[in-house]
Amino acid sequence: MKKYPIVVKSGPVVPAVSKQRGKPASGQRREAPVEIDGPVRSGAFLSFSYSYTEISSAGSTARVKSRRTAYENGRLASEQFEGELDRASYDRLIGEAERHFTGQAAFLLRSLFPFLR
């Protein structure tokens, strides 16, 4: 294989072909490096993401477990962690989640209200 080194090229490679069908042009030498394309990029339809977060409270602390997995650009990446929060941070987080949920529900009901008459 020392005779045929490989070179990665980012653009498309079209070999020169002579008038004789299927034979390389006479100007091309066998010792020339073989050119190949870079890695294949997958389209957007081949990507996904999954995440999971669990928060539970007991006493003065709250436990957090989180996991995230994603497949993008042909690579699978996964992360996970566990930790503890103080009770005040947990209460603030729950309050923000409740406000967000009620805001979204109110927006939905306001948009449907004209149809209920």
Domain boundaries, given as residue ranges, for the chain? 1-38, 44-116
Using CA atoms, how far apart are residues 63 and 87, in angstroms rounded to an integer?
10
| pLDDT computed for residue 6 by the predictor | 57
User: What percent of the chain has pLDDT above 90?
Assistant: 36
Distances, alpha carbon 95 to alpha carbons 12, 61, 100, in Å: 55, 16, 9
pTM of the prediction?
0.46
Q: Could you report the per-residue pLDDT of 50-60, keeping only the tens digit for each?
A: 999 998 888 88
Provide the mean pLDDT of the chain: 77
Q: Are 47 and 41 in contact (CB under 8 A)?
A: no
Q: How many CA atoms lie within 13 A of 70 on its CB side?
A: 8
3-state secondary structure 61-74: EEEEEEEEEEEECC
Can you tell me the mean pLDDT for 42-52?
Answer: 77
